[in-house]
Structure 1
């Protein structure tokens, strides 16, 4: 499905976010990826880590986005790690949704900003 030029075909049918709100959520992830992700690391098919730049404001943004995403896509688990001057967001899912996680990782990799280059 495409909405306003944004391909939403990778969004699983189990997502309960209303279709009209999906492009907005995708834009939020895109903004996080482009502005604050410096590295995307796939641990395995069901787990990835996003190394983030920034401080408390970015941590709050990532935490808020993760909390809202788990309301509609309960198959995702997010873990925010803050320590030793580093900030990272872990994302995991079960094997049944590994393709959705792969799409999220591919999108993040494509949008990594200059800090990740």
Structure 2
């Protein structure tokens, strides 16, 4: 268990996000649920690159593709790359430009909290 509280506020969401404010807590909850159910490891490759190791089931792959497509449509600064890293595992690479590192920091912290670890 982590000492860091998992908040549902969207204070870290940048102005560049076009998702309507009322929908942001729902999207955050979707990410939290996805992290809890699908993420098996969190690796910070660099300040601008986060790698999530995912369960490799077809339902996780479908959920990852859906969630990242919707997120990229409202927060176009994200780059998501989903690849199969083994027969039963997926890798989701998340990248941001230099001015959006704090958003990736927050995403990494939420994923790590779901695992009960720190990045």
* TM exceeding 0.5: yes
> Alignment RMSD, CA only?
1.2
Give, in angstroms, the shift of residue 77 of structure 1.
Answer: 0.4
Q: Distance in 2 between matches of 1:77 and 1:93?
A: 6
2:4 is aligned to none
Contact 1:38 / 1:52 at 8 angstroms: preserved in 2? yes
Q: How many residues align?
A: 109
Matches within 5 A, 1:1-117: 6-85=8-87, 86-112=89-115
Equivalent residue of 1:7, what SS? coil
Structure 1 ranges of 4+ moved more than 2 A = none
CA distance in 2, matches of 1:6, 1:70: 20
Q: TM-score, normalised by structure 2?
A: 0.87
In structure 1, stretches of 5+ residues that fail to align are none
Question: Any unmatched runs of 5+ in structure 2?
Answer: 1-6
